Amino acid sequence: MATNEELKARRSRAKAMVLRKSSAGSAVPAVMFAIVIGVLVASTLFLHFDHIWWFPPAITPVGHQIDHQFLLTFIVTGIVFVLAQLTLAWMVFRYRDQGHKAHFVRGSHVLEVAWTTITLVIFVSLGVMAAHAWGEVHFGGPAPGALQVEVTGVQFQWNFRYPGPDGKFGRIVPADIDASVGNPLGLDPNDPEGKLNIVTPSLYLPVNRPIVLMIRSQDVIHSFFVRELRIKQDAVPGLVIPVHFTVNKIGTYEITCNQLCGLGHYHMHAFLHVLSQADFAQWEKKQWASLSTQ
Ligand code: CUA
């Protein structure tokens, strides 16, 4: 039961709320603001549903998994976005200046806890669901018969190294690194295993064969990124970071560097050429043939 004093206090608060100011403000700012929010929501929805700025189709099975996960996250956060913005528009309109005296609202602990918990549950579940696709690229382990290619970032270009016909990579000696004499990776000239290692500024991969890229850096942190692979992996000096995938579409795709790695960062890019298995075998043979005559 409320005491008399409490009832009195409530009555006077209620009275204060309906007390009108001498002049009610114009409704125009509130209406305009609500309309702007409405237009913003509508144009955002249009841009996304129409896929005006969308990424190119994925070319790996994992890429499709990532797209699926992305879409799920997008739908969930999209619904929250639309609801929140429309509520904001409605609130701005509903509680516009109608001449009422403003009054203090203390907020609600129940509501605070509720929406924090809901947000936490949504984000943690999305994260757990996405872990599978991410784990497959990074921890899946190379399939037997996978093609290993070493990817090395250096200010400001990418170099790719393939093993010789024996499947072996030769030793690397940092003191031998010298792009001006055609040895950008520092292959040890005395190591027979490195003799037929192919080093190219473009990445050639066979279609439908498991690939392992071993990503390295010679100087600062770079980032290997191919949109169509849906793979973005930092190249960190001192580490060899493997990523696994299988490409299922022949074509040419751009490889970019995605870490601001210095003044030439903007032009640090290369191309990924996905070839049929026969074309790839032929390319490899040709490279080995020219290396063995050197
Ligand atoms: Cu390398 Cu940016």
Give me the DSSP letters along 165-198. Answer: TTS-PPPB-GGG-BGGGTBTT-B-TT-GGGTT-E
What residue type is 40 in one-letter code? L
Q: What is the pLDDT of residues 3-22, one digit of tens each?
A: 777 777 777 666 655 555 55
Domain total of the chain: 2
Q: Is the domain of 192 the same as that of 167?
A: yes
Q: Is the domain of 56 the same as that of 170?
A: no
CA of 157 to the centre of ligand 1 (A): 8
Q: Is the domain of 118 the same as that of 165?
A: no
DSSP state of 20: B
Q: Is the domain of 208 the same as that of 281?
A: yes
Q: What is the pLDDT of residues 76-133, one digit of tens each?
A: 999 999 999 999 999 988 888 877 777 888 889 999 999 999 999 998 998 888 887 7
pTM higher than 0.75 for the full model? yes
What token pair was written down for 190?
Answer: 């005395």
Q: Is the domain of 157 the same as that of 288?
A: yes
Residue 30 within any structural domain of the chain: yes
Q: How far apart are CA 15 and CA 253, in angstroms?
A: 70
Residue 271 belongs to a domain with what CATH number?
2.60.40.420
Q: How far apart are CA 79 and CA 74, in angstroms?
A: 8
Residue 230 within any structural domain of the chain: yes
What token pair was written down for 12?
Answer: 């006077």
Residue 41 is part of which domain span?
10-98+108-138
Q: Is the domain of 151 the same as that of 134?
A: no
What token pair was written down for 143?
Answer: 């399939």
Q: Is the domain of 14 the same as that of 118?
A: yes
Q: Is the four-CA dihedral 252, 258, 261, 264 of positive or negative sign?
A: positive
Confidence grade of residue 179 (pLDDT, cut at 50, 70, 90): confident
Q: Is the domain of 152 the same as that of 286?
A: yes
Regarding the beta carbon of 244 and ligand 1, being less than 6 Å apart is answered no
Residue 251 near residue 184, CB atoms below 8 Å: no
Q: Which atom of ligand 1 is nearest to the CA of 220?
A: 1
Residue 210 near residue 248, CB atoms below 8 Å: no
Give Dmax over CA atoms of the chain in angstroms: 105
What token pair was written down for 235?
Answer: 């190249």
pLDDT tops 80 at residue 33: yes
Q: How far apart are CA 241 and CA 238, in angstroms?
A: 10
Q: Is the domain of 280 the same as that of 247?
A: yes
Residue 2 within any structural domain of the chain: no
Residue 1 within any structural domain of the chain: no
Regarding the beta carbon of 153 and ligand 1, being less than 6 Å apart is answered yes
Q: Is the domain of 214 the same as that of 269?
A: yes
Regarding the beta carbon of 215 and ligand 1, being less than 6 Å apart is answered no
Residue 285 within any structural domain of the chain: yes
Residue 89 within any structural domain of the chain: yes
Q: Is the domain of 67 the same as that of 157?
A: no
Q: Is the domain of 128 the same as that of 191?
A: no
Residue 103 within any structural domain of the chain: no
H or E segment to which residue 245 belongs = strand 241-246
Residue 206 β-bridge partners: 275
What token pair was written down for 23?
Answer: 């002049």
Residue 215 within any structural domain of the chain: yes
CA of 152 to the centre of ligand 1 (A): 11
Cis-peptide, bond into residue 156, ω within 30° of zero: yes
Mean pLDDT, residues 212-229 taken together: 95
Of 139 and 38, the structure prediction assigns the larger pLDDT to 38
pLDDT tops 80 at residue 261: yes
State residue 16's pLDDT score: 58
Nearest CA to ligand 1 atom 1: 222
